Structure 1
Amino acid sequence: MSTTPTPEEAREALQDVDRRRGQTAAAAGRSRWTWLAAGVFVAAYGVLADRYPDFLRTYGITIVVFLLLLSMAGNTRWGATVLRRPVRPLLSPAPTALMLSALVLALLIGGTALATALDVPHVWLWSGLFIGVLLAAAGPWWQRRVLTRVA
């Protein structure tokens, strides 16, 4: 009896590994509507910040606390119980993906700060719309890319 697999057995084993990697990535990811809702929320926040600054001065802390609670609900066992959703497996992304994410975030924040310093009109409106559309359009792609490399 040989311990070396045949080429066919090896191919089937590798296909099984790829299939399970995809299942793990799909289980760890968020659904598309979550990304769309986040994009709409960020775009609305940018519009509100530009058009109605008094609204954000009044309710800004409330919005931040709500977002923190929502994040906790989506990422903890307590939140999974409250939302009656299965707990997602925790996959930590590769350091290169974290560095690229940090770079993109720094560029977005730096660009918005620079545009504000240069007195570009309606900078909150445009940055909110840009980041919101970026989240809604590229969020699912980025998540799939990161999770399939990690899983």
Structure 2
Amino acid sequence: MAVVDHDYCFRYIHVGSYGHNADGSVLQRSSLFPVLKEEGFLVGDDAFPLKPYLLKTYSSNNLSCKQDTSTYRLSRARLIVENAFGVLPYRFRVFGKPIQVKVTATEIMVTPGTLDYEYIVRGCVKPGSWSADISELPSLLR
């Protein structure tokens, strides 16, 4: 499970649940869940249960103007998340298929310095080498 922001940056990643587990239960077992319940919200898809901290689109076809606008905007936000997951296997080919190694071995596979590193105490991020390798994503307005 991952959280992506408006700039296609992965802000939170939870690894350690199997693919057949329900998304809602994976979220509840993550370290993000207690913080999310108290001071935030996410945009989710139909795999997640509707909660005060989890925004979802309306599923009915007979919507009011406000509901239709809300559904449109939430769908646009979710599109960014879907695009971020689509870019991921192109940048890191290892994500194009299931990883056939133990979780501890995957740490060895990621080259040091490639990913961003967050200095939590100082409140800053050291960009990884990946950010110099990619060009700007095309505008959605074109």
TM-score normalised per structure 1: 0.28
Higher share in strand: 2
Higher share in helix: 1
TM-score normalised per structure 2: 0.29
Which structure has more relative contact order (CA 8 Å, sep 6+)? It is 1
Structure with higher Rg: it is 1
